[in-house]
Amino acid sequence: MEPFGAEQGIYKDVDVLDPEPDTYKPTELPEREDELSRIHSALRPITLGGSPRNILVYGPTGQGKTVGVDLKTEQLQQWADSESDVSLTVLRVSCKGAGKSWNVLAALVKQAREARYGKTVEKPRGPTKVELFEMLSDDLQAIGGMIIIVLDEIDGIQEDDYVLYELPRASIDSVSIGVIGITNDYQFHENLDADIRSSLGSREVVFSPYDADQLRDILARRAARALRDTYFEDEIKDSEHLQSDVLSGDVIPLCAALAGQDTGDARQAIHLLSTACDLALDDGSDIVTESHVRKAREEIQEETIGKGIRGETIQRKIALLTALESELSGDAPEGTTQLYRRYKRFTKQIGADTYQQGTFREKLNDLAHGNILEGDRRGRGRGRGMTNMYSLSVDPDLVIDKVGDDNRLSQITERFE
Ligand SMILES: Nc1ncnc2c1ncn2[C@@H]1O[C@H](COP(=O)(O)OP(=O)(O)OP(=O)(O)O)[C@@H](O)[C@H]1O
Ligand SMILES: [Mg+2]
């Protein structure tokens, strides 16, 4: 067994390559200057003695929404702290997995009370959501001044949007409240109630996906902090000026290109780079090469698919096989209707239940959510609405391999081998 601590190491600060914002948070986001300046202008009234505007931030996963809103509200907090006559409180709640408005309100009451009393308090239990809202109003009034409430991942609230409806309209004596809602869920964003949209989204800021060039710069800045003997020439912080004894020249461009061609997700790009560095370390190599990146990508894909289908119902696996077949026959991307035809054939072949098309579509969307499929919304032609086109976003061989482990499905996957 190898001893800990013996590694020479390519890292200077390993935490910087952890994409979780709790571990490392960048201090600047030059790629998001425009988006941040729109948030800035929506918050600016506070500095002029007015009320902040509500903001809805929307964009796919890993685009710097959470970290961007964090940086901007921290900057505002610093300004407020330096002004003797301004009182500003920022409350941040993640609605991920909340399911209901009740959970979000309970978390907000807890945070508001902590800000009010300056000590840790328990989450309230028992009150109804209307009572919770009254408690919250009472606490916010006691805190007073300007209050910014950041509701991250608001799609986690699902159908019960009471809090999204009430909060942006709350009018409480002697307090001005600004709500910043963040979501990466296109469907949720589109389906938002018109009233919520108009009150919460009075300013809408869209974070569109990074391209490979932007991802390169993002990775270069992370690498310069995380890895030893890696630095910027002439203090110019872009990928062209990165010098490194640890990374071979094609590593960052390759990580950026792979993540860029997927979804332009910075979290994914950083995860790929850090996995490649870990693999180099495992090899005892003091240089990270292109082959480490390729191996890292395979490992990550395997993990993603494994996670996506391990312990999953047979229905989800069959849905995945429809996309596989479509891919291998050169027909991808395909819409739900075409894939559903494949689905009916498969379920008949193995004697599984055949669900309605709507339920089948949900399975496809689940897979797209897990980045196993790519769902691309397209117009069906004038006045005929939008449809989702699906294609496989992982290696077909991996799908054959993993789904084929299920005895019930191996008779289908065998045909593809
Ligand atoms: N412009 C950037 N520069 C440096 N790092 C970035 C940039 N954009 C994103 N990141 C990093 O990428 C990761 C994901 O960012 P973030 O958590 O803000 O994404 P998000 O848009 O909120 O995604 P989600 O919708 O999944 O919550 C974080 O580690 C963040 O530090
Ligand atoms: Mg986020």
pLDDT score of 192: 85
pLDDT less than 50: residues of the chain: none
pLDDT score of 406: 87
The token pair that represents 143 in the structure block: 């805190």
Which residues have C-beta under 5 Å from ligand 2, the single-atom ion?
Answer: 66
pLDDT score of 371: 76
Q: How many Cβ atoms sit within 10 Å of the Cβ of residue 233?
A: 10
pLDDT score of 338: 95
- pTM of whole model > 0.75? yes
Ligand 1 atom closest to the CA of 184, numbered from 1: 25
Q: Which of 317, 311, 332 is nearest to 393 (CA)?
A: 332
Task: Cite the DSSP H helix spans in 201-313.
Answer: 212-226, 251-262, 266-283, 290-309
Instruction: List the residue whose alpha carbon is closest to atom 30 of ligand 1.
Output: 64
Rounded Cα–Cα distance for residues 280 and 73 (Å): 38
Rounded Cα–Cα distance for residues 90 and 178 (Å): 9
Q: Name all residues whose Cβ lies below 6 A of ligand 1.
A: 19, 21, 26, 29, 31-32, 61-67, 184, 218, 266-267, 270
φ, ψ dihedrals at 392, nearest 5°: -75, 135
Domains belonging to the chain, first-starting first, are 33-206 (3.40.50.300), 211-307 (1.10.8.60), 311-416 (1.10.10.10)
pLDDT score of 9: 80
pLDDT score of 200: 85
pLDDT digits (tens, 9 = 90+) for 339-378: 999 999 999 999 999 999 988 998 898 888 777 888 877 6
Q: Which of 184, 205, 190 is nearest to 263 (CA)?
A: 184
Rounded Cα–Cα distance for residues 150 and 147 (Å): 10
pLDDT score of 41: 94
Tokens 């689940």, located at residue: 366
Q: In sequence order, which residues have a C-beta less than 8 Å from that of residue 105 and are 6 or more positions away? A: 129, 132, 133, 136, 163
Work out the angle at residue 248's Cα, subtended by the Cα atoms of residues 243 and 250, and round it to the nearest 5 degrees.
100
Is the Cβ–Cβ distance between 227 and 277 less than 8 Å? yes
Rounded Cα–Cα distance for residues 17 and 219 (Å): 9
pLDDT score of 129: 93
Work out the angle at residue 328's Cα, subtended by the Cα atoms of residues 295 and 297, and round it to the nearest 5 degrees.
15
Tokens 């028992």, located at residue: 126
pLDDT score of 311: 61
The token pair that represents 155 in the structure block: 């799609």
CA 19 – ligand 1 centroid, Å: 8
CA 265 – ligand 1 centroid, Å: 8
Ligand 1 atom closest to the CA of 70, numbered from 1: 18
Q: Which of 270, 230, 244 is nearest to 64 (CA)?
A: 270
CA 214 – ligand 1 centroid, Å: 12
